[in-house]
Chains A and B, each alone.
Chain A
Amino acid sequence: MRQAYRVTQNQGDNAYAESVTSSSSRARELERVLESTKPAMPYKDWDILIATPFRYPLPIASEFSARFRPAGTMRNVLYCSQEMETALYEFAYHFLRQRTHLKDLDAGKDMGQRTAFCLSIKSGKIKDLSKHRECRKIMSRTDYAPSHAYILRNSGIKVLRYPSCRDPKARSNYAVFDIRSLGRSVSEPTYLHFIYRTNTQEVRFWSAGFSVDMTVSRSNFE
């Protein structure tokens, strides 16, 4: 088994429901009724942090398209990274992607938390993209067409290792297409704190648990 890391939404509280309702019982009821309108959680034997990426409706809509998730395909993907620092660059990319197009925000900062955790991959099933002669092209920062074409040609891959184009050191990411290639539990779920500055469009995040403290800006990904 190999360890890998992933950052996701904050798992630590029920902040929304608590803040919009007048009692804990109403907060619980609100969460329950909102959850009841989501697709059922598949793969109940796996931790929710692992099963959730395999929950999204198929086929993939074009708006959900990603590196190895072409529109129209019938496979969900869990992305994770070999090193925590690489997972943070990937997280920062997705974090900034939802913010840097916004104009005329008040100068200031946005603070909060996310959850970072460790999972395990069964190492016998990994295909290594870094050995592919067209790896550079497939890992284009801006054009997903080559990576989509690659994964459509190689639809039997269960786990793909590939160099991160968001990490300046190009350390490895994994795209996991089959949940059975993953261990069922996670370890080390830890708060990751962040501050986002709207004027400079940079995010600083840190975690004592993972001994990290980094600042990433939009220019890192241009």
Chain B
Amino acid sequence: MTTRHDTRSSAREKTANAHTQIRETESAVSEALAALRDAWDYAGQRIAQILHLSPTTVNGWLRNERVPLGHAPYAPDIQALLHLLAIHRSLHAMFSNPKHQVAWLEQKHPDFGMPPVDKIAESIEGLVLVRQYLDYARGRGA
């Protein structure tokens, strides 16, 4: 027979597990951000500039080794960061050499008529467009 005490314990356990998962996710995103910074040799300030965020915000995420995600749908600053990480994921899949990833970002691209990093920095729409473009290009084997 399940007692009220058992039910409360089970609820506490579920809450604790949910908190653990959230911490794991926030740490995972922070680790991915640090990996992007290192792979592309982009300082926190450069990342902040691309995403139109405050350097304090990005450097705080890196320093604290935690990105406070909140819940979906995510706040615009978190969404922007996740789109940039997805771009890193795509370029990582396309090019094993990080220098080639940066070259793809920073050199003029025939389909954008400008370096993709400039398209990203234009607006959130530009950021999403480059992410979706890379998803499409990877779908064709690029």
Residues of A within 8 A of B35 (CB): 19-21
Given the complex of chains A and B, what is the CA–CA distance between A155 and B138 in angstroms?
Answer: 26
Interface locus among B21-29, B46-54, B56-64:
B21-29
What's the tally of chain B residues with a CB closer than 8 Å to chain A? Answer: 47
The DSSP consensus for interface residues of chain B is helix
Given the complex of chains A and B, what is the CA–CA distance between A184 and B31 in angstroms?
Answer: 37
Residues of B within 8 A of A95 (CB): 141-142
What's the tally of chain A residues with a CB closer than 8 Å to chain B? Answer: 49
In the complex, whether B136 has a CB less than 8 A from a CB of chain A is yes
The answer to whether A15 touches B93 (Cβ under 8 A) is: yes
Residues of A within 8 A of B32 (CB): 17, 20-21, 30
Residues of B within 8 A of A25 (CB): 24
In the complex, whether A63 has a CB less than 8 A from a CB of chain B is yes
The answer to whether A34 touches B96 (Cβ under 8 A) is: no
Within 8 A of A (CB), among B108-125: 108-112
Interface locus among A53-61, A145-153, A174-182:
A53-61
Q: Which of B92, B99, B129 makes the CB contact (< 8 A) with A105?
A: B99
In the complex, whether B140 has a CB less than 8 A from a CB of chain A is yes
The answer to whether A57 touches B132 (Cβ under 8 A) is: yes
In the complex, whether A212 has a CB less than 8 A from a CB of chain B is no
In the complex, whether A222 has a CB less than 8 A from a CB of chain B is no
Given the complex of chains A and B, what is the CA–CA distance between A104 and B102 in angstroms?
Answer: 12
The answer to whether B28 touches A105 (Cβ under 8 A) is: no
The answer to whether B141 touches A29 (Cβ under 8 A) is: no
In the complex, whether A160 has a CB less than 8 A from a CB of chain B is no
In the complex, whether B42 has a CB less than 8 A from a CB of chain A is no
Q: Which of B21, B100, B141 makes the CB contact (< 8 A) with A9?
A: B141
List 6 tightest A-B contacts by C-beta distance, closest first: A20-B35, A26-B28, A91-B141, A94-B140, A9-B138, A7-B141
Residues of B with Cβ closer than 8 Å to A?
21, 24-25, 27-29, 31-32, 35-36, 69, 72, 74, 79, 82-83, 85-86, 88-89, 92-97, 99-100, 103-104, 107-112, 129, 132-133, 135-142
